[in-house]
Amino acid sequence: MLRFETAGESHGECLIATLTGLPAGVPVTAAAIDRELRRRQQGYGRGGRMKIETDRAEIVAGVRHSRTIGSPIALVIRNRDWANWTETLPVEDFEGSEEKKKPVLRPRPGHADLAGVLKYGFPDARYILERASARETTARVAAGAVAKAFLEQFGVRVLSHAVAIGAARLERRASWEEVAALNEREEILLGCVDSATERKMKDEVDEAYRTGDTLGGVFEVMAHNVPPGLGSHIAWDQRLDGRLAQAVVSIQAVKGIEIGDAIEAAASFGSRVQDTIHYDAEPRRFRRGSNHAGGIEGGMSNGEDIVLRGLLKPISTLRRPLESVDLATREPALAAYERSDVCVVRAAGVIGEAMAALVLAQAFLEKFGGDSLGETRRNFDGFIEQVRSF
Ligand SMILES: Cc1cc2nc3c(=O)[nH]c(=O)nc-3n(C[C@H](O)[C@H](O)[C@H](O)COP(=O)(O)O)c2cc1C
């Protein structure tokens, strides 16, 4: 069973990810993880922090001579900003620490601040936002990069692009080839495959900058070359769609998920949105007339590309703050402002890729097992042959 965990606070020493259950022999390098971390930092609309931090992963366990050895993998990403926070968030208390604290007393509507202080009983929201912050997703992306390295051994690739930012929207489907070409680029503006739409997206973000506001949007994650049979119809918690939904909606500020063309399908006749089934005798292969289902039927991958969309609410820290209440005085006050992103659709897409890759790698290992990559490959090849000769 593949499982992963993260630890770390936004302004603490570092972020940590552990990943347990990957077979031995998977090629993994820090450079490949760093590339994903760099992708997470991309996108017009990010706050000042992305300029301070160039994230780098250190692999401290589970990988030797550039390959996994079957033991838990541990990854560390240092927070460069920690140097400025050593006295604000010390591990051990010291005399005079009270004056060094940076309390957050005016909870931001939409953030974890108020619910968090009520739940944990802290006098201010500092400790809550330190962990609620999407800085945590740095560790998810690092773990996801390792999951991607595993999936790539079987030809499976997971990428994303921006579908909508504010009111600017790509009004057509993007092909896998377009999404793959977009993600080859070193420089990314907002991550849309269509440059005219991307310009409109940038106008939306500029408007938010001008007015001290923020924006959400929609990103799409595609998984290409996924074999049929991952996940299962037999139990609610084995269904691949449900598992992907939890993984993607767990990303900070993601409030919804669409699998395939779910929204359009809900307003359509069945005859228009079910994917017709065909058979090509020569490659002896089933083929679908379309992929409205987004590659999943009955909670199982069906061999088509898996396509899902994450719906991101606007960032809740506004330069033009909303009404709130001071936690100390209970008087009306404007919400706190700390350096913040304005729009993170591109980054959320990259995080969505990581979460999808982790779920797919988990389902893949449930189906094919293996303590070594060779063993997994044997099981995988055997199943692919079984499907071919069905
Ligand atoms: C990549 C990324 C970056 C984010 N950056 C910020 C930010 O700078 N400021 C902020 O208030 N929220 C930011 N968020 C959103 C908050 O983390 C999120 O709204 C908060 O934790 C509350 O969780 P919820 O929105 O899921 O309910 C970011 C989210 C993502 C995915």
pLDDT of residue 282: 86
Q: How far is ligand 1, taken at its centre, from the CA of residue 316, in Å?
A: 7
Helix or strand or coil: residue 240?
Answer: helix
pLDDT of residue 330: 98
Tokens 């973000």 — which residue?
205
- CA 173 to CA 182: how far, in whole Å? 14
Q: Nearest C-alpha to atom 12 of ligand 1 is from which residue? A: 315
Q: How far is ligand 1, taken at its centre, from the CA of residue 340, in Å?
A: 9
Query: Ligand 1 within 6 A of 42 CB?
Result: no
Q: Is 220 within 8 Å of 193 (Cβ atoms)?
A: no
* C-alpha dist (Å) from residue 128 to 8, 123, 134, 216: 12, 11, 12, 22
pLDDT of residue 47: 82
Q: How far is ligand 1, taken at its centre, from the CA of residue 254, in Å?
A: 9
| Chain mean position to CA 113 | 22
pLDDT of residue 258: 98
Q: Is 73 within 8 Å of 16 (Cβ atoms)?
A: no
For residues 244 and 54, the model is more confident at 244
- Please state the pTM of the whole predicted model: 0.98
Residue 51 pLDDT greater than 70, yes or no: no
Residue 340 Cα: closest atom of ligand 1: 8
In sign, the C-alpha dihedral spanning 145, 146, 149, 154 is negative
Q: How far is ligand 1, taken at its centre, from the CA of residue 159, in Å?
A: 21
pLDDT tens profile 191-225:
999 999 999 999 999 999 999 999 999 999 999 99
* C-alpha dist (Å) from residue 319 to 43, 322, 343: 19, 9, 13
pLDDT of residue 285: 87
Which residues are registered as beta bridge partners of 61? 74
pLDDT tens profile 326-374:
999 999 999 999 889 999 999 999 999 999 999 999 999 999 999 999 9
- CA 14 to CA 8: how far, in whole Å? 6
- CA 19 to CA 369: how far, in whole Å? 16
The token duo for 240 is 């691949």
Residue 133 Cα: closest atom of ligand 1: 17
Query: Ligand 1 within 6 A of 15 CB?
Result: no
pLDDT of residue 50: 61
Q: Nearest C-alpha to atom 9 of ligand 1 is from which residue? A: 340
**pLDDT tier for residue 118 given thresholds of 50, 70 and 90:** very high
**pLDDT tier for residue 52 given thresholds of 50, 70 and 90:** low
Q: How far is ligand 1, taken at its centre, from the CA of residue 291, in Å?
A: 32
- CA 317 to CA 324: how far, in whole Å? 12
Q: For all residues of the chain together, what is the average pLDDT?
A: 96
| Strand 306-312 relative to strand 217-224, pairing | antiparallel
